[in-house]
Amino acid sequence: MALTPEQAREIEAERNESRPTRRVVSPGLEEILFRALPVLDHGFVRVIDYMGDDGAIVQAARVSYGRGTKKVREDQGLINYLMRHRHSTPFEMCEIKYHVKLPIFVARQWIRHRTANVNEYSARYSILDNEFYLPAAEHLAAQSESNRQGRGDVLSPKDASRVLGLLKDDAERSYKHYQELLNVTDDGKPMDDDQVGLARELARMNLSLNFYTQWYWKVDLHNLLHFLCLRADPHAQYEIRVYADVMLDTVKAWVPAAFNAFQEFRLGAVTLSKSALAVLRRMLAGEALDQASSGLSKREWAELMAALGRGE
């Protein structure tokens, strides 16, 4: 992750400033507030602001005037109940705002979650930095033969080296052409005083999707947990999953009781279909079943066996 000295000074100044408040604060999140948490080679996640804590969830559920019960155990029990039964509105009372730096192709996948407020760095008004994502060799894999949107076997060192070379050469060449279109040098000066640069909103179109963008992303806790449930899943694409993993850590620091419930009833849980539940009941009754006799499709059967730790 590359932060300029000016950015590092700004972050340190924010972290050193203290503001008295009557609002509820989360001590765990205060510890990492404003700090740039590194992701991938040049990316980061920063918590910029937040509202509410575990007590706000409990207070909303009870619609009470005060902070709710003083017993942490009782609060955890209520939050567990809310999470287990998929109540949403109490979790919507908490909000958080992130500053995220991420590759453009990750941003395009991320933006499919339409339940947040987003403001992205504009290449119409500013010039993008010469920063692009290059995967580590161990994350370069062939297309999966069984999953149209997944990865298969990791490339050999020889093939990985060739791919990384192509990615790096393409990105460097496209940024060089981007500068030529804009008619600017690295320090922002004209390359040629007699040449007119292309408009920024047009010049940006030749950049590849591995270049970095930035945005502010504000979301309530309910929708954040839905995002994390999908993107922190082992089947999610690696490049977005690592962002989700860092954000999981911020949730743990922010609302530890809600985080514990989320781990127990969402991340570490499985949902069975009506048919799968019927098959499970037959198995518990002692009936010997295979995929053909279960009535489930091959994929449904495989998923059920995987959930039961009986992969076949």
**Encoding tokens for residue 273?**
């279909």
HSE (CB half, 13 Å, CA atoms) of 192? 10
Q: Which of 200, 204, 231, 241 is catalytic?
A: 231
CA dist 97 and 145 (Å) reads 39
CA–CA dist 46, 246 (Å, integer): 10
Rg (CA), the chain: 24
Dihedral sign (CA 77, 79, 83, 89): positive
Angle between helices 72-84 and 54-62 (to 10 degrees): 70
Cα–Cα distance for residue pair 239/106, rounded to 1 Å: 7
Active site annotation includes 162: no
Active site residues: 231
